[in-house]
Homo-oligomer: A and B are copies of this chain.
């Protein structure tokens, strides 16, 4: 009873829940693999493993952002980084002769990812009591197109592009809270990734962990469990809604 009461008090000041998106809200690996298969079929390409292609594309995500985070490169949105990575992955997989416009369209595969089954209902419940918004490294158009297609009921589209800083830089969390007109401790980051939460906690945001053990496919070894006593740990977004009083 004491634990439950103290948790309630700690969570009572939270006004907004901001969400990691790739992995936490949407299943990027299955979605990209499906898009790779469709792309390969359209262009008569054979022998490309969709899941391996997805993993290779995603593997370039952090190194590309690090160019921007480090200041070696001026601010560049994720759609552009994804497009550059795509050229590299196509070369590595021997995909060639595809027109640039078709690759531009394929690049928007990241706008067409599907949420995990609990996400839409969980967000709709959380929205009744809290401001809900993505805090993703995806750019606004990506997150907006994804939300329109999938029915994600965000109150606002926030994230790296609005904050002009990629996670896990402290500015990405702090500017997002400031834009919301809230103190960091009034904002909770929900993520399936312990390192994202650790960076958010260092800036005084509250933290909610929801495991997504299938994000990286059957061989996943990382982020299967919370690595700290996060403010909330929930099995999925429905459990999270319940724990947040919705």
Residues of A within 8 A of B (CB): 79, 131, 139-142, 144-145, 147-148, 154-158, 161-162, 179-182
Contacts and interface: CB of A to CB of B under 8 A. Distances in A.
A79 B131 CA distance: 19
Q: How many copies does the complex hold?
A: 2
Contacts of A147: 155
Nearest to A156: B157
Contacts of A131: 144, 148
30 contacts: A79-B181, A131-B144, A131-B148, A139-B179, A139-B181, A140-B156, A140-B158, A140-B162, A140-B179, A140-B180, A140-B181, A141-B179, A141-B180, A141-B181, A141-B182, A142-B181, A144-B155, A144-B156, A144-B180, A145-B181, A147-B155, A148-B155, A154-B155, A154-B156, A155-B157, A156-B156, A156-B157, A157-B157, A161-B179, A162-B162
Nearest to A180: B141
A85 B149 CA distance: 42
Contacts of A140: 156, 158, 162, 179-181
A179 B144 CA distance: 10
